[in-house]
């Protein structure tokens, strides 16, 4: 059973905090234009762990706040503020995609808050605007200049849509969903701002992360290349890499693999 509460960020923006389970707290963050439903699906079902997802600004039931503050750095700062106010640091921190970038930043910039780290399906290493995030940015640009139906048709007919249809249909399905995500103007703003952002860390800083780390990746994913996961696993000294079933092969097996890998890691700590 999930519970929701409101957390007020330092600038007064109200964020929704979704929790489930009892036991050791695990702050587990969703991806770009996702929400707590994404983290809830992937989180281990075993007892003994409490999932805490602070829905990022403009996501789920959280307020947006000022548009110029939509960034990975701001989202990480909000998580840090929540932990300082409501949890006993350090804690286990992790996330999927954008949530992974947020968690990576926290591990570098606020190591005092991080007991262990979970990086799932990373889309960023250290640089801003990586090439693999270009499809998200393209959807955002189309939504800013065309009605949603016309934007969707243009994307599917273009080279990016055609490439994803052949190489990564699960990525394509997620992107198609953005054309009907409401509010559309906020979706467009998030897709362009965050796709062109980065975690704001260096490889040297990542290589100094000293906490136990789980890296999860899978193939057949253009937006979250398995090469990113492998690179981070190579850089972080105490990292363990686990390759799981791609969603496009079997969503049920993907979820089962994800939960098993994460549950096994958490129970070993």
12 backbone dihedrals φ, ψ, rounded to 5°: 95, -5
- Domain 2-128+198-268 is of which CATH architecture? 3-Layer(aba) Sandwich (3.40)
- pLDDT the model gives residue 240: 97
Strand order in 14-20's β-sheet? 2-8, 14-20, 48-54, 23-29, 91-96, 114-120, 213-217, 239-243
- pLDDT the model gives residue 47: 87
- pLDDT the model gives residue 3: 87
Beta bridge partners of 6: 16
Kindly list the domain boundaries of the chain, sorted by start residue.
2-128+198-268, 131-192
- pLDDT the model gives residue 46: 84
In which residue ranges of the chain is pLDDT below 50?
A: none
Which pLDDT tens digit goes with each residue over 187-223?
Answer: 999 999 999 999 999 999 999 999 999 999 999 999 9
Preceding peptide of 116 cis, ω within 30°: no
88 backbone dihedrals φ, ψ, rounded to 5°: -100, 100
Which pLDDT tens digit goes with each residue over 58-81?
Answer: 999 999 999 999 999 999 999 999
């Amino acid at each position: 059973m999930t519970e929701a509460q409101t957390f007020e960020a330092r600038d007064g923006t109200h964020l929704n905090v979704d929790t489930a389970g009892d036991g050791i707290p695990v702050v587990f963050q969703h991806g770009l234009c996702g929400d707590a439903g994404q983290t809830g699906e992937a989180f281990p079902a075993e007892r003994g762990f409490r999932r805490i997802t602070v829905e990022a600004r403009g996501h789920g039931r959280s307020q947006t706040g000022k548009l110029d503050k939509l960034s990975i750095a701001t989202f990480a700062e909000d998580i840090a503020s929540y932990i300082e106010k409501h949890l006993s640091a350090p804690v286990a921190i992790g996330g999927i995609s954008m949530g992974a970038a947020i968690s990576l930043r926290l591990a570098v910039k606020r190591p005092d808050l991080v007991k262990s780290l979970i990086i799932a399906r990373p889309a960023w290493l250290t640089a801003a605007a990586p090439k693999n995030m270009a499809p998200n940015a393209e959807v955002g640009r189309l939504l800013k200049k065309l009605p949603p139906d016309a934007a969707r048709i243009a994307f599917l007919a273009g080279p990016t849509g055609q490439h994803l249809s052949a190489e990564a249909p699960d990525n394509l399905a997620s992107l198609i969903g953005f054309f009907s995500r409401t509010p559309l103007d906020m979706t467009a703003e998030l897709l362009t701002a965050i796709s062109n952002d980065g975690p704001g860390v260096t490889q040297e800083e990542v290589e100094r992360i000293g906490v136990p780390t789980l890296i999860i990746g899978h193939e057949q994913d253009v937006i979250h290349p398995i090469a990113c996961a492998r690179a981070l696993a190579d850089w972080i000294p105490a990292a363990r890499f686990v390759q799981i079933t791609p969603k496009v092969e079997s969503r049920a097996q993907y979820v089962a693999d994800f939960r098993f890998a994460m549950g096994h890691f958490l129970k070993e700590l």
